[in-house]
Structure 1
Amino acid sequence: MSDPVPFELPDAVRDEFVAVVGRDNALVTDEERDEYRDPYWPTEDRTYDSSLVLFPTTTEQVQDIVRVANRHEVPVWASSQGRNNGYGGPSARVKGSVLISFRKMDRVLEVDTELAYAVVEPGARWYDLYDVLHEQGDELLVSVPDIGWGSVIGNSLDNGQTFLPNGSDFNTLNGLEVVLADGSLLRTGFGAQEDNPTWHLYKRGLGPVVDPLFAQSNYGIVTKAGVWLQRRPKAYAPLYLSVPRYHQLAQVIDVVRELRLDGILRGIPYVLDLLTVGDAHFPEFKGRIPPPGTPAMPEERLDAIADETGLGRWGVRTALWGDPEVIDVHERRIREAWSAIEGGEVRRLATYTAENWHEIKDAGLIDRISGGVPSSDILDSLPDFVGHVGFSPVVPLRGEEVAKVVQQIKDKVVERTGVNFSAQVFVTNERSAIVVSAMFFNRHDAGHLRATIDTAKELLVQLGQQGYAEYRSHLDFSDLAQDQLAFGDHAYRRFAETIKDAVDPKGILSPGRHGIWPARYRAR
């Protein structure tokens, strides 16, 4: 659809919203609200500006906010930490929406050490949950993403990737508490029964399973969730598997797939190109690997850097967890498989047990991430002028197919934006992968951002014609991403919109999120 008409919030309704949370928990003026927007979006571009930002502190306040919105038909857009930079940050699809931020609902409500799960509020960051687990002796681990400043619930509901075994196929969340569009409260699964002790333990319930309906959706606002944790293993060994040349990617993917299918590689093996490995993963090479967003370099020079550092043009970040004897056997299997890759090397970076587990917190990035310790190293290693746009199609886990998609993206990015291409392949399960191409641009150059956005749109259509789709999309091209799902005359979108109209008849909750619009906007 075309861009919706911007919403204008009447002063009296604004005051009604602010009264729910108090003036200290609201951003009202233009200057205040400018502190809560996507930092990668040009300041002068007001396309996705909000009219008000609210910071509730309780579920009851969220219910009251939604009731006000429902009464006055005000579009609201909820985010947890609002740090989904590269995809639009906290910004709403409809200009003038009221933003609901959960930065002040950040508590870890419960940790059950016997059954290995936690219950958290939507603003609880990976750092917050880790800190609680660390204080309890690191007996339990949480599967973390690359950047720890986001929220557990928000990242997980947007299908953000984490790397320990519970990260496989987005397996972390279980049992949600949800505020619906009329302000009522829903608990999914066996949370539907008062005081049912299996609410956060059993991934089904009685009747249809609705938990997944609240991932990447606009059907409700999640205010609480269970998070499955992992017991600390007897031993843990982070690994780095290097690959000397770019053209070997297809072979790498096939080897990783077979190791996954055999149960040797668990968690989420993460295939990174040289530029992504960069300073964050190996700071000893600081300054020798060009950062993302810099002018494209000849292949020969990148090959030379790969050889000089020994990191290869590709590297696989992975780990082994379990009894020491099992880890040794699995490492031997990996070395045997990797020997088929000419010039490939397998490095065990360390071995951690209960005796030296405390050392992980001060170790390298690879050790920390696969050990459940959140980090901001990757962000910290980027130059200040660099921003990025996420473009990430899902591809079958066949080497030739993954390599074909990566090459198409690379060719287009280098041609259209002129910067070094940076790619990562998340092996989400034994059968598929997400090709994450963080498309970098100069944050101080609005023209460069627009060229990057346009490149992503071209790739959406180009790869869409080949049958590939994104796993999540930037706010600016979410409608185009949804357009690619055209089977049955867009039967999926029509079905999703039918649900939307039933559960949110006034269309107030995050209209347009991932290309799903309520009737009041479709009519325009």
Structure 2
Amino acid sequence: MSVANDVAVDLPGLTDRVLAQLQAAVGVEAVHVERTKVDEFKDDYWIPGDETYAAAAVVQPTSTEQVREIVRIANEHGIPLWPHSQGRNLGHGGASPRVRGSIQLGFQRMNRVLEINDELAYAVVEPGVTWQDLHDAVRERGYSLMTPCPDLSWGSIIGNSMDGGHTYQHYGADYLMPTGFEVVLPDGDLLRTGQGAIPESTSWHLYKRSLGPSLDALFVQSNLGIVTRMGVWLKRLPDAYAPLTLIVDDDADLEIAVDTIRELRLAGHLEGVPSIYSTLRAAHMLLDAPVQAGPVPFTAAELQEIGARLGVGAWAVRSYIWGDPELVAYRLRRIEAAWAAVPSGRMQPVTTYTKDDYSTIVGSAAQIGIGIPTLKAIESTPAHIAHVDVSPVVPLRGVEIRMVVEELRRLYAEGGLNFGVGIMVTGERTAVAIAGIRYDKTDEAVARGAFELGRRMQESLGRLGYGDGRPHLLYMDTAASQHSFNGHAYRRFVERIKDAVDPNGILSPGRHGIWPGAYREDGRADDA
């Protein structure tokens, strides 16, 4: 096949010679340049017909050595690469590259669970391994381990972790799960972080620190390397488990509810990542029953009626308790007593499960809490509905959560859309308030309006001091520009590292606002 005749997007460097080299590295069947095939890896939630983030090709390696060879080829010819794992980064850009015409490096065929250590409760995975894959592998081996998972089981464990995503179990809190990386650097060199720098180390995936600077976090949300394997911390399956739903019927009580959750987290009675959902988000995430929106946003009275009718109130908290039966019972009493201080607070009836019951649990909210992956959140969403997320990081103080919520509520109303927020309590001191903007992805004008609303949200919250923790491709430069202390000292420092390790600027240019020198010098970072 001639590249010039059937390439998805024009890219001067993608010549027949380059194509032949890539095919020699990974096999003909693993290199795709035809438009119909490359389009399968587009962001399914992007504006219809818009080619801003279109790739020129997709290459799917099966080994770390193949990844290294692809990187060498890209350096030789100056072709940008954009790695993705399963490409399920919905609401943030999917698999699409920041720079149009990049080669997507897809890891769907690097999908091996390399190790599961039952004694020390960890696993080692390649970037194509999904949450469902790891769960199935643990069960097939008969191990009594709880596997982590987010809301959707089809995504990649490494991909989610490298984009700053979260899970809901113990190690989802403050992103504790990943430990010990193997990394292909932008020049094709190979690095192992932490204790993995010692050949044959048995502590590689057990201990988070290195001798000297610890580098793992350097590769999260970055373009400084490609993670080709990663350790994943697991937990023992608990003897007892209680999924909780805490309701706030009156929106006026949000502040005291947030402060109560903070104190329960700090006391150790709530673990993992409790999630606080507004009415419409609660119906979807807790009941697997999204409310069909009308042509105009619901009024406050209509939302109150929906919350009362469905039993989810103005806000509903999804959380979990794990442990010995006596510990679960004790924590339940402490949580119930604390929640009684919320004037309109109530706790829905609680079912406590034992190990023998876990396989009988129904409902995605309860399944996720015990590590049973599910696709209910996407299966219950109409096929034409997409979303783009804005995710400000906010201190876990009721007064500040309220400030962010009211600003988002104002902007939703200004955009003519329903208010829908999920506040992920990712630690004991902060939360990520995910504003999900829903829209009809088949309507170009509606989609553009949704993305413009997302931009206004990010800019407005940034002016208030709340940065987006996981921006969409479209907003990456805007988000990075808000980190401007001391003349953008953070960005200048990372750019110096980028230029040192990636002098040809081939790896993920523009990812989270970090551009290689060549892009900065010729101004392409502004209009890429």
Structure 1 and Structure 2 fold alike (TM over 0.5): yes
Code of the residue aligned with 1:388 in structure 2: it is H
Displacement, 1:456? Answer: 1.7
- How high is the TM-score relative to the length of structure 2? 0.95
Q: Which moved more, 1:230-239 or 1:18-27?
A: 18-27
User: The residue matched to 2:175 in structure 1 has which SS?
Assistant: coil
In the alignment, structure 1 residue 49 sits paired with structure 2 residue 48: no
Q: Deviations over 1:144-185 (max 9, x none)?
A: 111111100110111111111111100000000001112121
User: The residue matched to 1:430 in structure 2 has which SS?
Assistant: coil
Residue number in structure 2 paired with 1:450: 448
Q: Which moved more, 1:200-209 or 1:5-14?
A: 5-14
Q: Is the 8 A contact 1:292 1:440 kept in 2?
A: no
Percent of pairs with identical residues:
45
- How high is the TM-score relative to the length of structure 1? 0.95
Structure 1 residues 484-523: aligned runs within 5 Å: 484-523=482-521
Code of the residue aligned with 1:46 in structure 2: it is E
Q: Deviations over 1:374-405 (max 9, x none)?
A: 11111111112211111010011100110110
In the alignment, structure 1 residue 336 sits paired with structure 2 residue 334: no
Structure 1 residues 38-437: aligned runs within 5 Å: 38-137=43-142, 139-283=144-288, 286=289, 290-291=291-292, 295-360=296-361, 363-416=362-415, 418-437=416-435
Code of the residue aligned with 1:356 in structure 2: it is D
Displacement, 1:231? Answer: 0.7
Q: Is the 8 A contact 1:293 1:440 kept in 2?
A: no
CA distance in 2 between counterparts of 1:176 and 1:451 reads 40
Aligned length: 513
Residue number in structure 2 paired with 1:467: 465
User: The residue matched to 1:226 in structure 2 has which SS?
Assistant: strand
Could you tell me which runs of 5 or more consecutive residues in structure 2 were left unpaired when the two chains were aligned: 1-8, 523-528
Displacement, 1:350? Answer: 2.3
Code of the residue aligned with 1:80 in structure 2: it is S
Displacement, 1:136? Answer: 2.8
Displacement, 1:421? Answer: 1.5
Displacement, 1:347? Answer: 2.5
Displacement, 1:32? Answer: 1.1
User: The residue matched to 1:263 in structure 2 has which SS?
Assistant: coil
User: The residue matched to 2:354 in structure 1 has which SS?
Assistant: coil
Q: Is the 8 A contact 1:181 1:504 kept in 2?
A: yes
Residue number in structure 1 paired with 2:526: none
User: The residue matched to 1:275 in structure 2 has which SS?
Assistant: helix
Code of the residue aligned with 2:301 in structure 1: it is E
Code of the residue aligned with 2:156 in structure 1: it is S
Displacement, 1:276? Answer: 1.1
Displacement, 1:205? Answer: 1.5
User: The residue matched to 1:168 in structure 2 has which SS?
Assistant: helix
User: The residue matched to 1:133 in structure 2 has which SS?
Assistant: helix
CA distance in 1 between counterparts of 2:145 and 2:488 reads 44
Displacement, 1:6? Answer: 7.9
Displacement, 1:7? Answer: 4.3
CA distance in 2 between counterparts of 1:294 and 1:90 reads 31
Residue number in structure 1 paired with 2:5: none
Could you tell me which runs of 5 or more consecutive residues in structure 1 were left unpaired when the two chains were aligned: none
Q: Is the 8 A contact 2:194 2:204 kept in 1?
A: yes
Displacement, 1:329? Answer: 0.9
Displacement, 1:252? Answer: 1.2
CA distance in 2 between counterparts of 1:244 and 1:354 reads 33
Q: Deviations over 1:322-370 (max 9, x none)?
A: 111111111111111111122322135422222223223xx11121111
CA distance in 1 between counterparts of 2:450 and 2:294 reads 11
Taking structure 1 as reference, are residues 245 and 294 closer, same or farther at Cα in structure 2, changes over 3 Å only? farther
CA distance in 2 between counterparts of 1:280 and 1:430 reads 22
Code of the residue aligned with 2:489 in structure 1: it is A
Displacement, 1:126? Answer: 0.3
Displacement, 1:444? Answer: 1.2
Code of the residue aligned with 2:333 in structure 1: it is R
CA distance in 1 between counterparts of 2:412 and 2:312 reads 23
Q: Deviations over 1:233-257 (max 9, x none)?
A: 1111111111112232212111100
RMSD: 1.5
